[in-house]
Chains A and B, each alone.
Chain A
Amino acid sequence: MVKAKRLPRVFDYLTDEDPFSGGLTLCPGCPLELLLRFTARVLGRDIVFVGTPSCSATVLYGQNRQSWHKLAYYSCLMTGVASSATGIARYYRKIGKDITVVAFTGDGCSADIGFQPLSGAAERNENFIYITYDNEGYMNTGIQKSSTTPVGAKTSTTPVGQNRRGNPNPGKNVPFLMAMHKIPYTATATLSHLDDLAKKLVKAKEKKNEGLAYIHVYSPCPTGWRFESDMSIAICRLAVQTNYFPLWEAERGQFRFTRKTAKPKPLTDLLELIGKFSHFTDEDLIVLEKEVEERYQLIEGMVQAWPLE
């Protein structure tokens, strides 16, 4: 009898039970919890998480002698995540132990204060996985602007008033910058496309044997962006469908889209759900639309010029 062929489903990628305790101290609707539980279940137990004070610390740290998960965890300062992951991975390499080191930080760390060591680790092609959950700002400290905050967005350090209209800067395209280091693996991912994320985590685990694997995860923040707590995954999906956050991967400078949106939805479908854009005028919208379009074209151009087969 011929067995019915089917594509792998999300649950097929889970290798282990959930190592986190039930009930974590995150805001209701925060997709970070899903990301951490999912990442750990796909990658398995032989991992060491490396992280820093941030929203993820409320999940990864524990308090005093109490742990909130069953994994080894190294916590360090925001300046030292990629370098600490380097030290751990290098020692395991020295003693010949195959361990997956997973640096896990927000965008404030990877795009701003921890960018130098991250870039250094990429240049040295260190053997670990670095995952950024991008909530477009410093959410744990109270919704301040980071260098991935989108242009025009309102934060507590880029307010809207008579003299300014939110964030004046387009921000850094961090996953693209990481791909330009020509590391073995770079990918974008989000929580509405778990099968895509799972494949990328599996690939990152393989590729970390060749060098640095970087995954940039779009992770909406209900508290900081001001949207309803049941809308997180819908916002993730709309970010992909509007081309605001295209899903792609790159290997050593060669690019491929992993989801192609045939007919992108208008950007306003996404923005109207999110409070940090509620002050937008038509002029503000044009500026952000242009940035979104340019970023998409940049990846499209890379896919055409340097395709990943």
Chain B
Amino acid sequence: MRAMNKGEIRTLTGNAAAAYGTMLCRPDVVALYPITPQSEVIEQLADFHARGLLDAEMVEVEGENSAINVVTSAAMTGGRVFTATSSWGLAFMYDGMLQAAGFRAPVVMVNVNREMPGILAVSSGQQDMTSTRDSGWIQVVAEGCQEILDLVIMAYRLAEDHEIQLPVMVNYDGFYLSYLSEGVHLPSREDVTAFLAPLKEQPPRPMLVPGEPLGCGTHGILEGFVELRYKHSAALERAKAKFDEIDALFQEAFGRSYGGQIEEYCTADAEIVLVVSGSAAGTAKAVADSVNEQGAKVGVVKLRIFRPFPRERLIQALKGKKAIGIIDRSVCFGWGCGPLYMELKSASAKIGKAPMLNFIDGLANTDITKDHIKGMIERAQRAAGGEPFQEVTWVSLEE
């Protein structure tokens, strides 16, 4: 085993961490288009390129729709690619996103989560990510700046794995993480190259070859299409175990591990478990620590992958608990709840009879505060004690 290298420590914003992670993975083609709160990612990459630290084709496109098409076609030609976006930008590339997934293009894209109900909703929220959950992409979510950097590296390993071959969207909360500065271990270029090297040993992926009668995206109707859909769906299912495996390999190479699909925090003997993703996970863990010191038994499950949905690991972690609180930073319209809650409900038969409480909180930069989390825990504890409970609570409206 190679010597572990934690790398030098730098103070980086979440956006800069994403850019450093990308630069270390040496993409061939990068598409750049600004949008708040993501712009710093592409600015940082442009700076790396100008300083000779990033040898890539930099395409300063005229809109996000072009950004996704540039990177998808470059990926289908054989390249390693990167782009970054947020909210409306993600919406503007939706047709291209469906195409990237349908082509099985190993695109890695950062999406800095932001609300999008109105043009001026320049604020955090996961609605952009959850609204694109059926696009066929892999969606992973980071909690802090170090995890952003590490997740970008893992995303390439996942996207380009020949058993997977799917686009990966690396998500993190806009504002809360995009502009937050934290100490980040910066891996060396050599270590990242070594970590990604096994991708080169794989069978070559199908790609455009000039002079060869090979079409990309020409699959039409009937059997060919059905088979393609089936294989796409099966690859997404495989991505779950693959993500766990990559997390273990990452631990071996860099000395950091995040638990793969989900991180379980004090869940082993917990009676109450909160399920949460993104930056609010840190707050939930801190509150769990403080109430556990007072004798409570509260655990936290941090969701690190939203598509594919890590249902087997969640069932395992939540089975036999007395109550489960699910925090959603976006809304599942038409179900009157949050998307994470709705999806966990689908698995509830295997989780058990524990009451499930949904807390919609943190929309549009309303903080998910420690007090909010405490309140959620108390509600869950009362429900666990057999009291009637409210299924869905819009926390900031009840203050």
Contacts and interface: CB of A to CB of B under 8 A. Distances in A.
Nearest to B63: A116
A164 interface: no
Nearest to A19: B213
Interface in A29-79: 45-48, 50, 60-65, 67, 69-77, 79
B28 interface: yes
A27 B223 CA distance: 27
Contacts of B74: 87-88, 90-91
B316 interface: no
B70 interface: yes
Contacts of B209: 72
A65 B72 CA distance: 21
Interface stretch (B6-14, B52-60, B187-195, B280-288): B52-60
A83 B65 contact: yes
B218 A84 contact: no
Interface stretch (A117-125, A143-151, A167-175, A182-190): A117-125
Nearest to B74: A87
Contacts of A71: 211, 213
A81 B167 CA distance: 20
A105 interface: no
Contact of A123 (B62, B79, B212, B225): B62
* A60, A86, A119, most chain B CB atoms within 10 A: A86
Contact of B210 (A65, A67, A75, A99): A99
Contact of A75 (B29, B211, B216): B216
A208 to B, nearest CB: 14
B73 interface: yes
B217 A74 contact: yes
B77 A87 contact: yes
A43 B81 CA distance: 29
A91 to B, nearest CB: 4
A79 B69 contact: yes
Interface string B208-234: 111111111111111111000000000
Contact of A77 (B99, B219, B220): B99
Nearest to B208: A72
B308 interface: no
B95 interface: yes
B177 interface: no
A74 B77 CA distance: 9
Nearest to B227: A64
Contacts of B65: 79-80, 83, 116-117
Interface residues of B, number: 47
A102 B329 CA distance: 45
Interface string B155-189: 00000000000000000000000000000000000
Contacts of B220: 61, 63-64
Contacts of A303: none
B215 A48 contact: no
Nearest to A64: B224
A93 to B, nearest CB: 6
A45 B211 contact: yes
A94 interface: yes
Q: Is the interface of B mostly helix, strand, loop or mixed?
A: mixed
B16 interface: no
B59 A124 contact: yes
B259 interface: no
B66 interface: yes
B69 A76 contact: yes
Interface in A84-140: 84-88, 90-95, 99, 116-117, 119-120, 123-124
Nearest to A65: B224
A74 B99 CA distance: 12
A86 B219 contact: no
* B29, B209, B210, B217, most chain A CB atoms within 10 A: B210
B208 A86 contact: no
A117 B213 contact: no
Contacts of B59: 86-87, 90, 124
A282 to B, nearest CB: 44
A84 B69 contact: yes
Nearest to B27: A94
Contacts of A63: 218, 220-221
Contact of A79 (B70, B77, B96): B96
B56 A87 contact: no
Contacts of B225: 64
A67 B213 contact: yes
A63 B217 CA distance: 11
Contacts of B69: 76-77, 79-80, 83-84, 86-87, 117
B57 A93 contact: yes
Given A45-B211, A74-B208, A119-B62, A87 B29 contact: yes
A109 to B, nearest CB: 13
A73 B71 CA distance: 17
Per CB-CB distance, the 5 closest pairs between chain A and chain B, nearest first, are A120-B62, A87-B73, A80-B69, A83-B66, A83-B69
19 contacts: A45-B210, A62-B218, A64-B223, A75-B218, A80-B69, A80-B72, A83-B61, A83-B65, A83-B66, A83-B69, A85-B73, A86-B61, A86-B70, A87-B31, A87-B73, A88-B73, A90-B59, A94-B29, A94-B57
Given A87-B59, A94-B28, A94-B79, 20 more contacts: A45-B211, A46-B211, A48-B208, A70-B213, A71-B211, A71-B213, A75-B216, A76-B99, A79-B95, A79-B96, A83-B65, A86-B73, A87-B29, A87-B69, A87-B74, A88-B74, A88-B208, A92-B77, A95-B78, A120-B63
